[in-house]
Amino acid sequence: MDNGEQRDAYRPMSATLPAALPHVKSRWQKGTLTFGPVGRICWTFGIVVVPVLSLVLGSGGGILLTVLWSTTVAPLALRDIWAKESVYVPVPPIPPVQSLTTVNGERIPTLEEYVAGQAASQDDFRR
């Protein structure tokens, strides 16, 4: 080995990060920039009601407003409202380790068992 390879052999390894979970795109989950399903349905209903009300309540201008609304505003708004959003996928929890033992070979309880045991011992203490 030459001097350069020797120096590389003693260099510490760089830390590696775990692979990121893939993004999940959904229309039915609330994202950071989009509404949840209830908000999306309410906004869609509101966008559809505007031209219907302009036809029912308006006279000659109602038809013009309906045509303009249905050809310009509604398609853009509905596209943005129903766009798929990348949602956060939580990291799965690490299962508790069940096989920890003391030096004497006694099993160490998990946190849930320890807390439950503390609650049981406090109930015994109060009696």
Q: Which of 1-15, 17-31, 102-116 has the lowest mean pLDDT?
A: 1-15
Q: What is the pLDDT of residue 97?
A: 53
Q: What is the pLDDT of residue 109?
A: 75
* Gyration radius of the chain over CA positions: 31
| 16 three-state secondary structure | coil
For residue 74, give the H/E element and its range: helix 74-81
* Owner of token pair 């219907």: 52
Q: What is the pLDDT of residue 125?
A: 46
Whole-number percent of the chain with pLDDT over 70: 65
Q: What is the pLDDT of residue 52?
A: 86
Taking the C-alpha atoms of residue 115 and residue 56, their distance in angstroms, rounded to an integer, is: 65
- pLDDT by residue (tens digit) across 42-79? 999 999 998 888 888 877 778 888 888 899 999 999 99
Q: How many residues does the chain have?
A: 127
Q: What is the pLDDT of residue 48?
A: 92
Res. 17 pLDDT band, cuts 50 70 90: low
Look at residue 31 and tell me whether its pLDDT is greater than 70.
yes
Tokens in use for 60?
């000659």
Assessment of whether the complete model's pTM goes beyond 0.85: no
